[in-house]
Amino acid sequence: MDAIDRLFTDRPIYGVPKMQDMLRREFQIAIGIDHTRRLMRQMGLIAIYPQKSRNTSFPNKEHTVYPYLLRGITASHPNHIWGMDITYIRLEQSWCYLIAVIDWRSRYVISWELSSTMESEFCVTALMNGIQTYGTPEISNTDQGSQFTDRKFIAVLKDHNVRISMDGRGRCMDNIFTERLWRSLKYEEVYLKSYPDISDARINIADYFQFYNERRPHQSLDYQTPAEVYYQNKTSQKESQKLPVFNRRSTSILSTSTV
């Protein structure tokens, strides 16, 4: 699964047949196509195609799917748009799943959670923690995975009057900011370490996200850090609206994750 994760992080266009071939070519791993398909499904991986929907988790046909709201819209201020996505994190003897909530304007990681299952509870927890700490976004954007269409997750958004946007067909790059976060996390942290269990993964990922938010400059942000952009823009927004200056909390990110 580690080899699949590396290949997919580099080239998310790989479907099952191509993944099977690349495992053989680059890692000398010879497994059947059904085995490859089963592993990719367990990891929540679906290849990105130009005209197909891109999901990091699988949809539930019984759940309501919401329309895509972001066509022609660019995030203009903190808490304008939050993107959420799920990725796979390897452990020494198993794996776990990571959700991150990211502010599109600043690339600031608002909240995150780890879970040993793909149930929706850890997504609800991450969303609630983000809202309680940083306020309410105007728009939430996710894929159409069952975790994000679950009634508990949707209820949190509706209770806080958040507009709900979901990636549609032909929108394979909508969560590009989160995809870039995954690539940075995996090449700068996950692939360099070996986590014996989910607790150790949680400690190391917490350290990385603090570094990512507070110390890692981004070229796309004019070499500012996400924290600098988030709080600078947050303060400017409050002042322009003649509201009290935003009460800056600690930028350290803590996670009380589901195991």
Using CB atoms within 10 Å of the CB of residue 196, give its burial: 0 to 12 exposed, 13 to 18 middle, 19+ buried.
exposed
pLDDT, tens only, 19-64: 888 888 888 889 888 988 888 887 767 665 543 333 445 555 666 8
Other residues' Cβ atoms within 10 Å of the Cβ of residue 162: 19
**pTM given for the model:** 0.73
Amino acid 215: pLDDT: 94
Task: Please name which of 246, 243, 57, 18 lies closest in space to residue 148, comparing C-alpha atoms.
Answer: 57
pLDDT, tens only, 185-218: 998 999 889 999 999 999 999 999 999 999 999 9
Amino acid 253: pLDDT: 52
Q: Report residue 189 CA to chain centroid gap.
A: 16
Amino acid 97: pLDDT: 94
Rounded distance, CA 218 to CA 229, Å? 10
Judged against a pLDDT cut of 60, whether residue 235 lies above it is answered with yes
The answer to whether 98 touches 86, Cβ cutoff 8 Å, is yes
Amino acid 252: pLDDT: 42
Reduced to 3 DSSP states, what percent helix, strand and coil does the chain have, rounded to the nearest 5? 40, 15, 45
Mean pLDDT lowest for which of 86-95, 130-139, 175-184?
A: 175-184
Mean pLDDT of the chain: 83
Rounded distance, CA 7 to CA 20, Å? 11
pLDDT, tens only, 64-84: 889 999 988 999 999 999 999
For strands 163-166 and 139-142, give the pairing: parallel
Rounded distance, CA 2 to CA 69, Å? 35
Amino acid 243: pLDDT: 41
Judged against a pLDDT cut of 50, whether residue 256 lies above it is answered with no
pLDDT, tens only, 138-152: 999 998 888 999 999
pLDDT, tens only, 144-178: 888 999 999 999 999 999 999 998 654 555 668 88
What b/e sequence results for 118-152 when a residue is b if at least 16 CB atoms lie within 10 Å of its CB, and e otherwise? bebebbbbbbebbbeebeebebbbbbbbbbbbbee
Mean pLDDT lowest for which of 9-23, 73-87, 238-252?
A: 238-252
Amino acid 251: pLDDT: 40
Average pLDDT over residues 98-114: 97
Task: Please name which of 135, 106, 80, 112 lies closest in space to residue 225, comparing C-alpha atoms.
Answer: 106
Percentage of the residues of the chain whose pLDDT score is greater than 90: 49
Judged against a pLDDT cut of 50, whether residue 88 lies above it is answered with yes
Amino acid 225: pLDDT: 96
Judged against a pLDDT cut of 60, whether residue 249 lies above it is answered with no
